[in-house]
């Protein structure tokens, strides 16, 4: 992959979200939902539902991003966590 291809690419679950996902998976999570434009005042509004792997690939433009992930276990219990991410331009 070239630097240009990597410029604004984020692999959640392999990088920033790794600890969040690992913690959820160790608790017996059945699926994840993702909100890639999370605003706390608007609540959780999933862009992706029923992700059973806990990994998403997203191309993000430079700037500040607030990403929320919700995990649901086999008993229907859920938990949410947020990731604040700043993407910078490559020179």
* Least confident piece of the model among 4-8, 43-47, 49-53, 69-73: 4-8
Q: Parallel, antiparallel, or unpaired: how do β-strands 63-73 and 78-87 relate?
A: antiparallel
Into how many domains does the chain fold? 1
- What is the pLDDT averaged over residues 42-46? 93
CATH of residue 7: 2.60.40
Do residues 83 and 24 touch, judged by C-beta distance below 8 A? no
Which stretches does DSSP call E strand in the chain? 9-12, 29-35, 48-51, 56-59, 63-73, 78-87
Residue span of the structural domain in which 19 resides: 3-87
**pTM of the prediction?**
0.67
């Amino acid at each position: 992959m070239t630097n240009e291809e990597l410029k604004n690419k984020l692999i959640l679950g392999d990088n920033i979200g790794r600890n969040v996902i690992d913690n959820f998976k160790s608790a017996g999570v059945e699926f994840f939902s993702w909100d890639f434009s999370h605003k706390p005042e608007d609540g959780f509004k999933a862009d992706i539902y029923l992700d059973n792997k806990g990994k998403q690939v997203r191309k993000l433009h430079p700037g500040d991003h607030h990403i929320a992930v919700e995990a649901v276990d086999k008993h229907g219990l859920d938990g949410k966590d947020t990731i604040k991410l700043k993407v910078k331009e490559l020179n």
